[in-house]
Structure 1
C-alpha cells in the first residue's frame, strides 16, 4: 500500500511536469496562432472560424475515444494522441514556406489548427478519467490549483519569451506583417512541437490505476440530452455552453482589436496574456481552498459573475495600464471558473461514467463556441453598428450582457454534491476571497522582506565562516614558513 501511494505521488508530480511542458506549447504556440493568422492578413470571419471550427469538431471525435477505451488503456490512448498532436505543429510551422498566396495561407492555418484541436482533444476524456483516479476527492481543489498555478507561471514566462522573440523579427516596424516575422512564428511553432514531446515523456512516466470498461456505464448522447434540463450536470452543461457562446462572440476578436485598432506591438499584446496569467496565479490557491471548504457551486457563482464584466470593462479606457488590470481581473475570474467547473463534473459524475460525461460536455461547449464565434465574425464583417467608433467594442458589449444574463438565469439552480461548509456567497466573496488575497499579499511581503533574526543569523554564519578561513590561512602560512631556514623570515611569517 505504501509503495502504491509513493507511485501515485510520483505520478502526480510528473503530471505537474507534463502541465509545465504543455504550458510551453500554449505560451509559445497556441497563444500565437491568431496573431500568426492576423500577420497573414486573415479576415475577421477567418479569425472567428479559427476558434469555432476547431472547437465544434474536436468533441465529436472524443466519443470515438471513449469507445476506444473498451479495448485500449487510457494511457495508450493519451500517449498516441499526444504524439500526433505534437507532430501537427510541424506543418503549421511550414505554411509560410509552402504557400505564397495569402488566402491559401490563412485557410491552411484554419484547417491545421482545427486538426491540432481535434487530435489534442481526442485524449481529453481518457486523461480526465485517468487523472480523476489519481487525485483524492478531498484534495482536488488544492492539487489542481497548485497544478494550474505552475502551468500559468510557465505560460507567462514562455509567452513573454515568444513575444520578445517575435519582436526581434518584426524590428521597429510593428506592422504585423512581412516574411521576416512569419519565420519567427515558424520557429515558435517548432518549439511548441518539442514541448509537446516533452509532455508525452512525463505522461508515459505516470501510473495508471486499473480500469475496466463497464458496458452498463455507457449512456448515449440522446439520453444525456433528454436529462439536460432536469439533472444537475445537465443544467451546468447548458449554462457552460451558453456562456461559451456569449464569450466567443467577442473572445476571438480581442487580439484583432489590440493588434489592428490599438496598434499594440507583440510585447504589448502578449503583456495582456501575462497579466491574465498573473491574475490567475495570484488567486488560484485561494480558489482551491474555497472549493474544498465551500464547494464548487458557490465558486462557480462568484467567478461566473466576475467574468461577465470583463468585456464591459474594455469600454472604459484604451489605456495600456488600465487594460493590464482588466486582464489580471479576467485571469482571476477564469481561474476560479475553470477550477470549480472541472471539479463540479468530478463531483457529480461517477468514476466509470466520467469519460462520456466529459465528451458530451465538450460537444456542447464546442457547439456554443462555434455559434458564438460565427455570430461575432458575421457582426465584425458585415455590421455597421459601432460603439465609440469600433465594431469590436460593440461585440464586447453584447458579449458582456449575454454572459451576465446566462449566469443569473442558470447558476443559482445548481446543487452542491459534496457536504461542505455553509456560508453566504457575499461573505465568501468578501471575507474569504478578498480577505484571503490580502492575507496572501501580506504573507508574501513578510516572507520577502529580510527580518532582524534572519539578518543576525546570516551575520553569525558569516562570522563563523570567516574564522574558519583565518584558521585555514594560518595553517597554510605555517606550512609555507617551514621551508625557510632563516629565523628572521620564519618569525616574520608567524606574526602575520
Structure 2
C-alpha cells in the first residue's frame, strides 16, 4: 500500500490495521446511516423532521467535542475515549431497530431523532482523539497517498455494503431495517475491537497544572491563542459557512427524490453505491494531486464542482438522472474530503491538536445543526428547489472565503491542464 522505505515495519503494520479497521467501520456505517432518513419517512416524518434528524445529532454530537478533546489530552491512552464511544455508538442501532415501535405512531419519529442524537454523541466522543492519533501515525509526506489508498479500500467496502443494503431494503418494512441495523451493530463492534489492537506512538498526557486564572480567563487565553493561528481560524470560518450551505440542502435531496420526482426509496441505496464507486475510482487521482499541489488546490477544484450539485437536482428531469448526479458527486467529494482532512491536520499545531480539532468540530456542529433546520422549515414554506439554489450560493461564498484567507503551503500552482493525467507527468508528479 505504502512504500516500505517511508515508514518502519511496526508503523506499516499499524497503518495496515488502521485501514482494515476503517473498512469494517465504513461498511457498518453504509449499511444503515444513509437510510435513516428513509426509515424516518416510512414512519411518517415531515421535511422539517428530516431536517431535525440531521440537525439535532450534529449539534449535540459536536458540542461535546471540546470537553472530550480536553479529556483526551490528559489521557495516557487516547484510544480509551474512542473505544468507549465506539461501543455505545455501534450498540445504539439495536435500540433503533425496536424501540420506536414500542411508542404510539405519532411519537416514533421523535424517538428516532433522540436515538440518532445519542448515537452521534457517542460516535463523536473520540473524534478529536482519533484525529490526533492519525496525525501521529501517518507521516505528513505520504498522507495524500496513504489516505487515498485507504479511502479506496474503505469506499469499496462501502459499495459492497450499499449493494447489500439495496437487497435488504426490498424486504417488508420494518423487517428490512431491523436486519440492516443488526448487521450494522455486528460490523461496527468488530471495527471497535480491531481499533483496540492498533499501536499508536502517542504524545505524553498533558499534566494538570495549578492555576489562579478563572475559567473565563482561561477561555479568553485559549481564544487568543486560536486567533494567533491565522490559517486555522480562517479555515474554521470558511468551513462554518461551507457546512451550513451543504446541510441546508443535502438532507432534503432524498425527500425531493421520493416525493417530488416520485422515485422508489430502494433506488437511494443504488445511488449511494454509484457515489461510492466513483469515489473509489478517483481516490488515487486526487491523492497524487494533493501530495504534489497541496490540499488547498484540490479543495478549490473539487469545491467548484460541489457548488453546482444542488443545481443539478433543480433541473433533474426524471428519476434516473440522480444516477448521474451521484457519479459527479462522488468524483468531487472524493477529492474534497481527502484534502479537507489532510489540511485540518496541517493547520492544527502538534501541541493540543485534540483540542483544536474539538473546537473545529464544535463549530461545524453548530453549522450542520442550523443548516438542516433552516432548510427543512424553509422548504415547507417556499418549496425544495429554492432551497437548493440558496445552498449553491452559500457554498460559493464559503469557497471564496477559503480561497482568500487560507494559505497555500505547497508552493506549486495548479493549472487547468494539470488536471489531465497525461499532462501532469510533464511536471514530475510522483506516481503519475
Q: TM-score, normalised by structure 1?
A: 0.78
- Residues 433-453 of structure 1: CA deviation (Å, up to 9, x unaligned): 9979xxxxxx9xxxxxxxxxx
Verify: 1:90 aligned to 2:90, yes or no: no
Contact 1:159 1:274 in 2 (8 A): yes
Which residue in 1 is equivalent to 2:386?
394
Which residue in 2 is equivalent to 1:447?
none
* Residue 224 of structure 1, CA deviation: 5.7
Contact 2:261 2:319 in 1 (8 A): no
In 1, Cα distance between equivalents of 2:162 and 2:329 = 17
Verify: 1:365 aligned to 2:364, yes or no: yes
Counterpart of 1:26 (choices 22, 25, 29) is: 29
Task: Provide the alpha-carbon RMSD of the alignment.
Answer: 2.4
Return the structure number with greater relative CO, CA threshold 8 A, min gap 6: 2
In 2, Cα distance between equivalents of 1:39 and 1:249 = 22
After superposition, the Cα gap between the structure-2 partners of 1:82 and 1:368, relative to the gap in structure 1 and judged at 3 Å, is same
Verify: 1:422 aligned to 2:412, yes or no: yes
After superposition, the Cα gap between the structure-2 partners of 1:337 and 1:214, relative to the gap in structure 1 and judged at 3 Å, is same
Q: What 5-or-longer segments of structure 1 have no aligned partner?
A: 170-180, 386-390, 437-442, 444-496
Counterpart of 2:149 (choices 146, 149, 153) is: 146
- How many residues matched? 412
In 2, Cα distance between equivalents of 1:284 and 1:61 = 32
Moved more, 401-410 or 283-292: 401-410
Verify: 1:314 aligned to 2:313, yes or no: yes
After superposition, the Cα gap between the structure-2 partners of 1:224 and 1:361, relative to the gap in structure 1 and judged at 3 Å, is farther
Which residue in 2 is equivalent to 1:350?
349
In 2, Cα distance between equivalents of 1:220 and 1:232 = 22
Moved more, 104-113 or 254-263: 254-263
Counterpart of 2:128 (choices 120, 125, 128) is: 125
After superposition, the Cα gap between the structure-2 partners of 1:71 and 1:168, relative to the gap in structure 1 and judged at 3 Å, is closer
Verify: 1:74 aligned to 2:78, yes or no: yes
Which residue in 1 is equivalent to 2:325?
326
SS at match of 1:212: coil
Which residue in 2 is equivalent to 1:51?
54
In 2, Cα distance between equivalents of 1:395 and 1:6 = 51
Deviating beyond 4 angstroms after TM superposition, the runs of 4 or more aligned structure 1 residues are 219-230, 432-436
After superposition, the Cα gap between the structure-2 partners of 1:305 and 1:24, relative to the gap in structure 1 and judged at 3 Å, is same
Trace 1:77-476 onto structure 2 (pairs within 5 A). 77-99=81-103, 101-169=104-172, 181-214=173-206, 222=220, 225=223, 227=226, 231-381=230-380, 383=381, 385=382, 391-417=383-409, 420=410, 422-428=412-418, 430-432=419-421
In 2, Cα distance between equivalents of 1:33 and 1:118 = 16
SS at match of 1:168: coil
* Residue 44 of structure 1, CA deviation: 1.1
Q: TM-score, normalised by structure 2?
A: 0.89
In 2, Cα distance between equivalents of 1:333 and 1:229 = 32
Which residue in 2 is equivalent to 1:489?
none
In 2, Cα distance between equivalents of 1:202 and 1:368 = 32
Q: What 5-or-longer segments of structure 2 have no aligned partner?
A: 210-216, 426-431
Please say which structure displays the higher CA radius of gyration: 1
* Residue 282 of structure 1, CA deviation: 1.6
After superposition, the Cα gap between the structure-2 partners of 1:339 and 1:183, relative to the gap in structure 1 and judged at 3 Å, is same
* Residue 21 of structure 1, CA deviation: 0.9
